[in-house]
Amino acid sequence: MAGHGVLRILVVLPMYGGSLPVGRFCLSALRELGHVAEAFEAPEFYGAFSALKDLRVTADRLEYLENSFLQVVSQAICAKVETFEPDLVLALAQAPLSRQALKRLRRDGVKTAMWFVEDFRLFTYWEAFAPYYDAFAVIQKEPFPERLAAVGQENVLYLPMAADPAVHRPLDLSAVERRTFGAGVSFMGAGYPNRRLAFAQLLDFDLGIFGSDWDGDPALSDRVRLGGRRVTTEESVKIFNAAAVNLNLHSSINPRELVPTGDFVNPRTFELALCGAFQLVSDRTLLSELFAEDELARFSTMAELREKLAYYLNRPEERAALAKRARTRALAEHTYALRMEHLLEFVAERFPGWPVGRAGAEAALAVLPEPLRGETAALLGELSLPADVGFADLIAAVRLRQGRLTPLETSLLFLDEWKRQYGG
Amino acid sequence: MARFLVLQLARLGDLLQTRRLLAGLFAQIEAGGGGGEVHLAVDASLAALAGRLYPHVRVHALPAHAGPGRDPAAVALAARQACGELAAMPFDKVFCLNFSPLGMAISALYPPEVQRGYRQFSGQPDKDRLLRLVFRLTRERRAAGLNLADIWAHLDDVPLPPAQVNPPAAPRGGGLGVALAGRMARRSLPPEILAPIVRTAFRASGGARLTLLGTAAQASEARALVKQLDSATASACQDLTGQTGLGELCEVVASLDRLLTPDTGAMHLAAFFGVPVTAFFLSSAWCHETGPYGIGHEVWQSVVPCAPCLESVPCDKGHVCRLPFADPALLRLLGGSAKAEPPAGLALFRTDCDGLGAVCRLERGEDPSEAGRRAFRAFAARHLAGQDAALVDGTPEAALAERFFLETDWTLPPPGRDATGEE
């Protein structure tokens, strides 16, 4: 929370895809840092888009309806901003924020940031919306920032992927879990063309493949585990923990490129490291500044992959030593909490005067009578809020609580409404 | 084993323009090393030709066009049989290339995740993002310019390099050919304008053989042309209109030194065989969309302010786009004069390939839309080919991105993908 106190942050989740769990990790991290963070649950709206697809209308009409409904979703985000009054709107790649809504937020003085956790070379739509965000965090270095500058986005922050130590952690697995999720050489992820071809060359190893999109490949079918279904985050952590060697082959849609050359480092690298699980990762140009050679074993060719698999499978001590060092490094440098801190510092640095202090902000505990302070202090701890949090921020956090409220929470809301009505 | 299906239910020219996609799929199978098959569904009238043009493809005949012997009962039976065959095979990808309910109906045989292009699932027609973009481009045809063959090829993830699609243009020894009007008569030159062009090109070619090509419907047009020719040219002329089936047409076209043609199936056939094309594009024809594919062909493109127009809208400008083709300056140029300048409203383009696909490069004349088109291609190349082109001056392309991309492009999963994408 260095320097800017408790912030209110609205995290706009995407409706689908790999950036959705990242958004949820950001939300947890921001709360862990003591900020009042709320999510705009865009996935809840996805059902409506699916319903449009079931209308059986012409393709042109479908496109029109999708665009119109998206504008409604964007307006919902703006309405949420009006009520929640965030200091920052953080959107993840694919977030349903229209350019019109971003213009309105800018006009209203609400700072917006995008964490673009995509490959800019494949996902080229960034050109259409990047200038409308106040800050733009990316997982790639040059030439991406230069390209962003060319379209008018100067506030670019390199913010590599990360992992969540509360989720990605070493586990003591039962014998049944080891059988269900374990393999000598394990891979968890989707069946991209390069992976299919690469893994077909590893059938002489005890290879287990977890994840979806692996069907239609007879050579690999008996290696695909759990029926080739999509695995949950919790299951993936068990898979990571249960493997002797976790293969981490970055994806490519190009089947000619079995071990793709690329720059950004995928989330799995950080997740495996935080799990304390040993991994063999395909090398990336940005990997060496994130992990040292003695923290992560890496490969650049299929021959090197086979050679290192054979080497490490017979050396459990070396695997354990590397995995331990990787976990230490990840805990120190690659958590979502650290990334969020970095992002907030960046926004503060680029926009002097941010966040604009709320008029009449007063510490919650100072507002309350002595008999309630002890109980409220405990609530602040429960909400991960600092002792000097403002009353308004405490109320915002209480409003985010799910389910039935406690008598204390209810009385705080009551007090807030009373103060609004009577100006106390 | 990989197995792909391409649904191409349109006409001859479209079948020929499908080559880049088909060849790319074969290249993918070869790279995969596990073997595979490419299937192609076409109208029954083109099935034999498809087999000849693409000998490694498995062709399926569908009753997609109307014609003799095509009554509803016969169509129903033929469609039932073809659908039975197609449904029995699991395909990794199914490409429906035509914005036609017929092709989309066939797509409905397959799950949404394998469908590409125009698609249909659970009764809802839809199209890939690329095709949504292409539809938006029709508002600004002059400033855009993507070859149809490249649009289809980019429905796949790894298209074949464009220079590998058709052989480079080189004379084949069989003299000069002239293709008469295609299906869209307004896109063709009338005999009184075409005759001097043919005469000049024939003389410039050395004057050995001249062959007229077309269907029986164009026989009268061919006769009218011959009447307008001088006697020396007319006497060298062999009129084959209405006398060649598609197989013979292939043989004749493949043997030519050059083909003079409007935007026709014969033009695409010549490009397919690497026979040099001199094409005349006017009215709704726009060489940046449907020009001859490959390296070294030439297109005389009308660039009058109203070009390209909409074929479906009657011309209220007296077909002004034809007039520059009647200008003697064009004849001087066709005759080999290096000094002559093209008449106003006409520009000469030479075909080439870039990282994105086929491109028509200005050779003579003026083309006011060239700068806009160049910016568009840079934008499209990054979007489609993931090209690492430097965005030195980002403004024009960023403006294009803003104009042509809609929020649904990036906030919704691509058609055929569910919401639970996994990395």
Residues A138 and A185 occupy one common structural domain: no
Give residue B421's pLDDT.
54
The answer to whether residue A167 sits within a structural domain is: no
Q: How confident is the model at residue B398 (pLDDT cuts 50, 70, 90)?
A: confident
Across the range A202-229, mean pLDDT stands at 91
A128 → closest Cβ in B123, B388, B402: B402
* Cβ separation B394–A150 shorter than 8 A: yes
Cα–Cα dist A58/B125, whole Å: 6
- Residue A100 confidence (pLDDT): 94
Residue A4 has pLDDT above 80, yes or no: no
Question: Are A323 and A408 within one domain?
Answer: no
Burial A189-199 (b: 16+ CB within 10 A, else e): bebbbbbbbbb
- Is A404 part of the contact surface with chain B (CB cutoff 8 Å)? no
Judge if B201 and B337 occupy the same domain.
Answer: yes
**Residue B374 domain-assigned (yes or no):** no
Q: Are A233 and A124 in a shared domain? A: no
Phi, psi of A142 (to 5 degrees): -55, 145
Whether residue A142 sits in one domain with residue A86: yes
Any idea which of A86-90, B32-36, B52-56, B231-235 has the lowest mean pLDDT? B32-36
Tell me how close the Cα of B81 comes to any Cα of chain A, in angstroms.
25
Q: What is the mean pLDDT of chain B?
A: 90
pLDDT tens digits along B340-377: 899 999 999 999 999 899 999 999 999 988 888 988 88
Instruction: Report if residue B251 sits inside a domain.
Output: yes
> In the structure, what pLDDT confidence band is assigned to residue B392 with cuts at 50, 70 and 90?
very low
Q: Is A306 exposed, middle or buried (0-12, 13-18, 19+ CB in 10 A)?
A: middle
The answer as to whether A355 is a domain residue is no
Of the given ranges (A198-212, A282-296, A378-392, B318-332), which has the lowest mean pLDDT?
Answer: A378-392
| Residues 138-197 in B contacting A (C-alpha not used; CB under 8 Å) | 157-158
Cβ contact, residue pair B422, A211, below 8 Å: yes
Give the burial string for A172-184 (b: 16+ CB within 10 Å, else e).
ebeeebeeebbbe
Residue B377: inside a domain = no
Give yes or no for a cis peptide into A355 (omega within 30° of 0): yes
The boundaries of the domain holding residue A321 are: 175-333
Total length of chain B: 423
Question: Quick one: A149 and A202 in the same domain?
Answer: no
CB distance A386 to A6 below 8 Å:
yes
How far is residue A54 from each of residues A14, B406, B419, measured CA to CA in Å?
21, 21, 15
* B11-15 contacts at long range (C-beta below 8 A, 24 or more positions apart): B11/B46, B11/B183, B11/B265, B12/B46, B12/B49, B12/B246, B12/B265, B12/B268, B12/B269, B13/B182, B13/B263, B13/B264, B13/B265, B13/B267, B13/B268, B13/B290, B14/B97, B14/B98, B14/B148, B15/B42, B15/B46, B15/B49, B15/B50, B15/B53
Q: Give the pairing of strands B2-7 and B36-43.
A: parallel
Q: Which residue's structure tokens are 């003697």?
A: B328
Please name the amino acid found at residue B266.
A
- Burial degree of B294 (CB within 10 A; 0-12, 13-18, 19+): buried
Q: Is residue A247 part of a domain?
A: yes
Residues B187 and B316 in one domain: yes
B114 and B180 housed in the same domain:
no
Domain finish residue from A350, A379, A396: A350
Given A300, A325, A350, the domain boundary residue is A350
Based on the fold, state whether residues B236 and B304 are members of the same structural domain. yes
pTM (two decimals) = 0.83
- Please report whether residue A166 resides in a domain: no
Q: Is the pLDDT of residue B142 over 50?
A: yes
The residue out of B330, B345, B368 marking a domain boundary is B368
Asked whether residue B20 is assigned to any structural domain, the reply reads yes
Distance from CA of A373 to the nearest CA of B (A): 45
Can you give the residue range of the structural domain that contains B77? 2-120
| pLDDT tens per residue across span A101-150 | 999 999 999 999 999 999 998 888 999 999 999 999 999 999 999 999 99
A63/B382 touch (CB, cutoff 8 Å), yes or no: no
Single out the residue in B353, B368, B383 at which a domain terminates.
B368
Q: Is residue A263 part of a domain?
A: yes
Is B319 found in the same domain as B185? yes
Q: Is residue B357 part of a domain?
A: yes
Tell me the percentage of chain B whose pLDDT exceeds 90. Answer: 66
Q: Are residues B202 and B106 in the same domain?
A: no
Specify which of A353-367, B100-114, B296-310 reaches the highest per-range mean pLDDT.
Answer: B296-310
Computed over its alpha carbons, how large is the radius of gyration of chain A?
Answer: 24
- The separation between CA A274 and the C-alpha centre of its own chain, rounded to angstroms, equals 15
With CB atoms and an 8 Å threshold, state whether B157 touches A152.
Answer: no
From the CA of B18, how many Å to the nearest CA of chain A? 21
Distance of alpha carbon A415 from alpha carbon A20, whole angstroms = 36
> Does B205 share its domain with B288?
yes
Q: With beta carbons under 8 A apart, name residues in chain A contacting B31.
A: 255-256
Peptide bond into B308 cis (omega under 30): yes
Q: What confidence score (pLDDT) does residue A219 get?
A: 86
Give the single-character DSSP code of B188.
S
Are A319 and A376 contained in the same domain? no
In chain B, the residue whose alpha carbon lies closest to the alpha carbon of A66 is B408
Interface of A with B in 132-171 (CB under 8 A): 143, 146-147, 149-152
| B307 in any annotated domain | yes
**Which chain B residue shows the shortest CA-CA distance from A16?**
B419
**What is the residue-averaged pLDDT of chain A?**
92
pLDDT digits 0-9 by tens, B195-204: 999 999 999 9
Query: What's the pLDDT tens digit per position in B168-188?
Result: 999 999 999 999 976 667 889
Instruction: Name the E strands within A175-296.
Output: 183-188, 207-210, 243-248, 279-282
Contacts of B343 (CB under 8 A, 6+ apart): B324, B327, B329, B330
**The tokens 């440098």 sit on which residue?**
A333
Residue A277: inside a domain, yes or no?
Answer: yes
> How many Å lie between the alpha carbon of A413 and the closest alpha carbon of chain B?
36
Here the CATH number for the domain that contains residue A203 is: 3.40.50.2000
Distance (Å) of CA A246 to CA A232, A240, A288, A296: 17, 6, 19, 11
- pLDDT tens digits, one per residue of A223-272: 999 998 989 999 999 999 999 999 999 988 777 789 998 999 999 999 99
The type of residue at A131 is P
pLDDT digits (tens, 9 = 90+) for A279-318: 999 999 999 999 999 999 999 999 999 999 999 999 999 9
pLDDT in tens, B246-273: 999 999 999 999 999 999 999 999 999 9
Residue A155 belongs to domain with CATH number? 3.40.50.11010
pLDDT cut 70: percent of chain B above it: 95
Q: Are residues A150 and A186 in the same domain?
A: no
Counted across chains A and B, CB pairs separated by less than 8 A come out at 145
Count of Cβ atoms closer than 10 Å to residue B37 Cβ = 17
Give residue-wise pLDDT tens across range B300-332. 999 999 999 998 899 999 899 999 999 999 999
Cross-chain Cβ contact A43/B419 below 8 Å: yes
Closest approach of B146 to chain A, Cα-based (Å): 18
* pLDDT at B419 (0 to 100): 53
Alpha carbon of residue B131 to chain centroid: 16
* Same domain for A323 and A181: yes
B103 and B202 in a single domain? The answer is no
Residue with tokens 């279904």: A229
d(CA A375, CA A408): 8
Residue A139 lies in a domain: yes
CB contact under 8 A, A15 and B411: yes
Q: Is residue A1 part of a domain?
A: no
How close, in Å, is residue B282 to chain A by CA atoms?
A: 29
A310 touches chain B (CB under 8 A): no
CATH code of B236's domain? 3.40.50.2000
Is the CB of B125 inside 8 Å of chain A's CB atoms? Answer: yes
Residue B398 and residue A67: Cβ atoms within 8 Å?
A: no
Q: Does B406 contact chain A (CB < 8 Å)?
A: yes
Of the listed ranges A163-167, A391-395, B261-265, B289-293, the one predicted with least confidence: A391-395
Those of residues 347-386 in B touching chain A at CB distance below 8 A are 379, 382-383, 386
Tell which of B100, B120, B140 closes a domain: B120
Please give the ipTM for the structure prediction: 0.78
Cross-strand partners of B350: B298, B361
Report residue A351: phi and psi, to 5°: -125, 80
Other beta carbons within 10 Å of A5: 17
Domain presence at residue B379: no
Whether residue B322 sits in one domain with residue B210:
yes
Mutate to test the interface with B, among A15, A53, A65 (most CBs of B within 10 A): A53
Structure tokens at B19: 């080559």
Q: Which residues of A touch B401 (CB under 8 A)?
A: 124-125, 127-128, 151
Instruction: Say whether both B201 and B57 belong to one domain.
Output: no
Q: Is B124 on the interface with A (CB under 8 A)?
A: yes
Contact B291, B273 (CB under 8 A): no
User: Smallest Cα–Cα separation from B8: which of B87, B62, B51?
Assistant: B62
Q: What is the mean pLDDT of residues B270-287?
A: 97
Closest Cβ–Cβ partner in A50, A99, A189 for B422:
A189
- Give the closest residue to A291 by CA, choosing from A307, A305, A315, A271: A271
The answer on A227 and A299 residing in a single domain is: yes
Q: What is the DSSP letter of B383?
A: I
Number of domains into which chain B is organized = 2
Are B410 and A16 a contacting pair at CB < 8 A? no
Looking at residue B391, its pLDDT comes to 47
Q: Which residue from B32, B379, B412 is facing A66, i.e. has the nearest CB?
A: B412
* Integer Cα distance of A132 and A152 in angstroms: 9
DSSP B269-332: HHHHHT--EEEEE-TT--HHHHPPPSSS-EEEEE--TT-S--TTSPP-STTGGGGGGGSHHHHH
| A278 & A196 share domain | yes
A267 touches chain B (CB under 8 A): yes
In order of A97, A193, A198, B418, the CA distances from A216 in angstroms are 37, 12, 16, 18
Count the domains in chain A: 3
Indicate if A393 and A326 belong to the same structural domain.
no
Provide the greatest CA pair distance for chain A: 76
Distance CA B184, CA B175 (A): 26
Is the domain of B242 the same as that of B315?
yes
The separation between the first and the last C-alpha atoms of chain A, rounded to the nearest angstrom, is 29
User: Are B351 and B226 contained in the same domain?
Assistant: yes
**Beta strands A279-282 and A243-248, pairing class:** parallel
Whether B158 sits inside 8 A of A254 (CB atoms) is yes
- Note whether A118 and A207 are same-domain residues: no
For A405, other C-beta atoms within 10 Å of its C-beta total 14
